[in-house]
Structure 1
Amino acid sequence: MKKVRYEEPKMPESLRILMDLDAEDTLGRGTKKRGPKKYASKKTKSKTKSKKIDAKKPRPTKQVGPRKEVPKKNDKLTKKTKVAIKSETKHAKKAPTSQYKPDTKRNSTNNINGNKGKLKTPSRGLDDNKKTRKKREKSSKTFNFSNLMFVVIHGISVFFNFLLHGGEKKLSVPQEKKKQLDKKFNQVFSLVFMGLMVLLLVMNILHKDLPKSEAENRTLEQRPALSISDIVSGKYSSKFSDYVSDQFPMRSGFIKAKSRFDLLTGKDKINGVYIGKDGYLMEGFKMASDEVTQTKIDAINKFAQNNSKLNVSVLLSPNKVEIYKNYLPKFAPEDSQTEYMKVLKSKLNSKVKLVDVISTFNRLKNNEQLYFKTDHHWTVEGAYAAYEDYCKAMNLQPANRNSFTNSLASNDFYGSLYYKNAAGIGKPDQLYLSLQQDNNPVLVKYFDTKKKVASLYDVSKLSTKDPYQVFTGGNHTQIRIRTNIDTERKLLVIKDSYANAMLPFLVNNFSEINVVDMRYFTGSIKDLMNNAEVTDVLILGNINTFNTDASILSLNE
């Protein structure tokens, strides 16, 4: 095989500078403590350069390592050369600015003084740097979820910055072109905005006003009558604002969307409804101001004084938020209805009999289901318990509970609070009717519909959205009930919807019952009592409605 003489490659200038720096570092900084260092002199370096050894040529198809040669005994430069190469390797690792990359092919085939692999030392340090760089690149590719919110917020801010200010267009777009783009954007934005306004206006005009919100269980504001006095006083603008708020197109859809969002965010109170334990949905209670409560008490006291010959009584049923307060979410900031009843008792005239059923309900709540879970009303069990307390307070004999049979009217009753939360929370209730076995005949007249029927139940309402209307067919302005009970006592009930479930029990104690809902009644209570020869007056409802509704103030009109 033909041999070729080896020629020492020229040392790069960067390594030469490093060697000079290493030679001047007399303190030995950056190196481990070792024995006395031996640096190669200039003569040694020149001799090393002139020294030539033989090496094998690499094969064209396969890389072959260098041939081992036994070092000569008389070679005095071997140790010095090793020390110089080691010093070059250390400084090559320390200097980040040195971009030295050894020729791997040349190092794999060449040897100095027959010492195999000594020139591979610098490449080993560079391989370590490559591994570290790869690890950094790999770690930078992994997504950090803790920064997700920051990324979303930043993206939104960039989007709105682009819409409002054009982003960074001024850096890349000429000023004239930018003005044209801004002008087009403003035109498109104005047209879209005006289109939405016109669409909303048309929808408001075509939208049919609803009289009542089933989901919120309240009457909605109607279009106010236009008058100069209301415009001047500012009442018209206030009424019209309430009207637009109540009759807004797709209002129920927006309420449902908000409720869904509240549910996803983990809120315990959705659209005014608490999500309680054991499937109970409850409305909260906030006591009205002392001034508001006092005006209602004054109206009742004045009515009792003006009708001193009548037996006037008040029965306000507590709500679930008071009886099942242990089912509320923790730290629910609700006022006490027990305290509210104490205020009424202390301020009502002695001629007014206040029937407080809170203690009775607290005694029965673990044995009887007094309220529907998805509705704000009481069940027939709760209505009968209140009826018993009323009879005891007014010296009447209550009808025996065993004379009634509970009949299942609906197995999938979704009440008002189910629809009010608008998030689809709540399981269906069972709706029972208490049917009397001897079936005392009654004749019921509804003044608003001018219908006369022989029952206090309207079974057709069971297939509607509000099956609770099966009691008396829902709320009416005025009802007259005539019974076959032989007594001179005639009752006037001033009520809310709670009274509807209690009327089937009251018909056992009076020959005639007139029922008036002050929220819808526009006649005179005084004229009604004179014509009906009323002997007893019962203000019957629930605490929450009495606390918020002002219709009782028209009692003396």
Structure 2
Amino acid sequence: MELKRGKERRRKENKNLHRSMAWCFAGLVLLLVAAGIIQPDKKISDEENRVLTTFPKPGIETIKNKEYMTALEDYSSDQFVLRDLWIRLKVRCDLLIGKREFNGVYLGKKKYLMQIPVGMDEKNTEENLEAMNRFRQANSDLKMNALIVPNAAYIMKDYLPLGAPVRDQGEDMKYIKKQLSGGIGLIDITETLRKHADEGIYYKTDHHWTSRGAAYGFGAAAKQLEIEGVVSDYKIHTVTTDFSGTLASKSGYHKAKDTVEVYQPENVEYQYLVSDSDNEERRPTIYDRKALEEKDKYQVFFGGNHAIVDIVTTNDNQRRLLIFKDSYANCFVPFLIPYYSEIIMIDARYYYENVHTLVENKGITDVLFLYNMDTFLNDNSLADVLTGE
């Protein structure tokens, strides 16, 4: 009898425990829902360094083609209560089970985060190359070169997780060289970067190369760019040791910090003034110290990306360089400044003017296409600018 009463008591206790757990779970769900309703929408995620989805406006067409439901799902995901906390918890759980790929980012040796190179968009790549060839034909008197920089995952294969697949950007480089007309020289710095792969030529937390990587790249490219008297000695200034870049934000892994350096050539007398489409006032420095107080400290170079940047120097050699670029150029161009009378940078993603008029009005003598491989193979804004579309 006593045994029977004991079993009955334990059954009731278990039932009460299950009921309490159910109520707690329901209360937690209701609390999260209420918090989600009360909490104002965030416009920007500092953690992920991107714009968040806001509440979509319904429309007959968007509801019919299911765009509204997709947008609503994106909104729910972006505005979820304590989203950053859940992302960090997920990353920790994934690490415990041995996972080394987070949201398209590899976690490699020595805490290196490396973006997984995406495949080639054949249509966009072909459009870019055809537009470059046509631009060359229309400006046959100009010296033209292309510098396409391989990404970290390809250069630093030894740092990747065991068995991690990576796109062969060497084959991509061969394809680009084959498709370019003879009047455009392709500068391949792959082997140079590989020789220095252990020297911090890419950031651990960001998708860009570092100033050190750009310095090696410049040294390898200078001859083909017909730059004479290249400086080999630099004074290196560390401007921050607390940089957490785009890949840390994208992956949710925040266990490493990067150092951002600025290279100043020694024993070279030169001055310059710079302006851009967002700030037409000419200033004597390309560095934006205010960016060091922001999340994206890579923007210390030129204050980030602009439709057009114009650098006028005291060099009187009358060489005027036009650069079509992505953000990889931002830490590379400082090495070019002493060797040209003027450098104009165009970011095709934001530029909508006629480049042929610019070439004529500015008396351009040299052209450089400077992109990282991933961008060049997938973004066709360069083709749009070169063809005037």
TM-score of the superposed pair, with normalisation by structure 2: 0.81
- The equivalent of 2:239 in structure 1 is 409
* 1:451 positional shift: 3.7
Q: Does 1:244 align with 2:78?
A: no
Q: Distance in 1 between matches of 2:75 and 2:360?
A: 42
Choose which of 308, 333, 345 in structure 2 pairs with 1:478: 308
Q: Deviations over 1:395-434 (max 9, x none)?
A: 22253121x21122223333332333213232x2332211
- Judged with a 3 Å threshold, the aligned counterparts in structure 2 of structure 1 residues 450 and 338 are, in CA distance, closer, same or farther, namely same
Give, as a single letter, the amino acid of the residue that structure 1 aligns with 2:134: K
Q: Does 1:429 align with 2:261?
A: no
Q: Distance in 1 between matches of 2:361 and 2:72?
A: 41
Q: Distance in 2 between matches of 1:286 and 1:398?
A: 38
- Judged with a 3 Å threshold, the aligned counterparts in structure 2 of structure 1 residues 440 and 238 are, in CA distance, closer, same or farther, namely farther
- The equivalent of 1:301 in structure 2 is 133
- Judged with a 3 Å threshold, the aligned counterparts in structure 2 of structure 1 residues 498 and 224 are, in CA distance, closer, same or farther, namely farther
The answer as to whether partners of 2:42 and 2:52 remain within 8 angstroms in 1 is: no
Give, as a single letter, the amino acid of the residue that structure 2 aligns with 1:377: H
Mapping of residues 351-390 of structure 1, within 5 Å: 351-366=183-198, 368-390=199-221
* 1:520 positional shift: 2.5
- The equivalent of 2:226 in structure 1 is 395
Moved more, 451-460 or 329-338: 451-460
Choose which of 283, 288, 298 in structure 1 pairs with 2:115: 283
Q: Distance in 1 between matches of 2:347 and 2:181?
A: 23
The answer as to whether partners of 2:205 and 2:248 remain within 8 angstroms in 1 is: yes
Choose which of 487, 505, 510 in structure 1 pairs with 2:340: 510
The answer as to whether partners of 1:460 and 1:470 remain within 8 angstroms in 2 is: yes
Q: Does 1:332 align with 2:161?
A: no
Give ranges in structure 1 of 5+ residues lacking alignment: 1-154, 164-184
* 1:315 positional shift: 0.7
Q: Distance in 1 between matches of 2:123 and 2:378?
A: 13
Mapping of residues 21-170 of structure 1, within 5 Å: none
Q: Does 1:271 align with 2:103?
A: yes
The answer as to whether partners of 1:399 and 1:508 remain within 8 angstroms in 2 is: no
- The equivalent of 1:209 in structure 2 is 43
* 1:301 positional shift: 2.2
* 1:193 positional shift: 8.8
Choose which of 137, 141, 144 in structure 2 pairs with 1:312: 144
- The equivalent of 2:371 in structure 1 is 541
Q: Distance in 2 between matches of 1:423 and 1:378?
A: 19
Q: Distance in 1 between matches of 2:280 and 2:73?
A: 32
Mapping of residues 337-352 of structure 1, within 5 Å: 337-352=169-184
Give, as a single letter, the amino acid of the residue that structure 2 aligns with 1:350: G
* 1:247 positional shift: 5.2
The answer as to whether partners of 1:263 and 1:423 remain within 8 angstroms in 2 is: no
Q: Does 1:498 align with 2:334?
A: no
The answer as to whether partners of 1:374 and 1:416 remain within 8 angstroms in 2 is: yes
The answer as to whether partners of 2:203 and 2:210 remain within 8 angstroms in 1 is: yes
- Judged with a 3 Å threshold, the aligned counterparts in structure 2 of structure 1 residues 398 and 236 are, in CA distance, closer, same or farther, namely farther
- The equivalent of 1:9 in structure 2 is none
Q: Distance in 2 between matches of 1:349 and 1:520?
A: 26
The answer as to whether partners of 1:414 and 1:429 remain within 8 angstroms in 2 is: yes
- Judged with a 3 Å threshold, the aligned counterparts in structure 2 of structure 1 residues 275 and 195 are, in CA distance, closer, same or farther, namely closer
Aligned residues: 367
- The equivalent of 1:120 in structure 2 is none
Choose which of 450, 459, 472 in structure 1 pairs with 2:280: 450
- Judged with a 3 Å threshold, the aligned counterparts in structure 2 of structure 1 residues 226 and 480 are, in CA distance, closer, same or farther, namely farther
Give, as a single letter, the amino acid of the residue that structure 1 aligns with 2:225: M
Q: Helix, strand or coil for the counterpart of 1:479?
A: strand
Q: Distance in 1 between matches of 2:136 and 2:55?
A: 37
Q: Distance in 2 between matches of 1:482 and 1:221?
A: 40
Moved more, 373-382 or 506-515: 373-382
**Aligned Cα RMSD in Å?**
3.5
- The equivalent of 2:7 in structure 1 is none
* 1:510 positional shift: 1.3
* 1:289 positional shift: 4.2
- Judged with a 3 Å threshold, the aligned counterparts in structure 2 of structure 1 residues 455 and 497 are, in CA distance, closer, same or farther, namely same
- Judged with a 3 Å threshold, the aligned counterparts in structure 2 of structure 1 residues 487 and 217 are, in CA distance, closer, same or farther, namely farther
* 1:449 positional shift: 3.2
Q: Distance in 2 between matches of 1:246 and 1:442?
A: 47
Question: Where is the strand percentage greater, Structure 1 or Structure 2?
Answer: 2
Give, as a single letter, the amino acid of the residue that structure 1 aligns with 2:370: L
- Judged with a 3 Å threshold, the aligned counterparts in structure 2 of structure 1 residues 392 and 243 are, in CA distance, closer, same or farther, namely farther
Q: Distance in 2 between matches of 1:540 and 1:220?
A: 30
* 1:196 positional shift: 7.3
Give, as a single letter, the amino acid of the residue that structure 2 aligns with 1:543: M
Q: Deviations over 1:112-149 (max 9, x none)?
A: xxxxxxxxxxxxxxxxxxxxxxxxxxxxxxxxxxxxxx
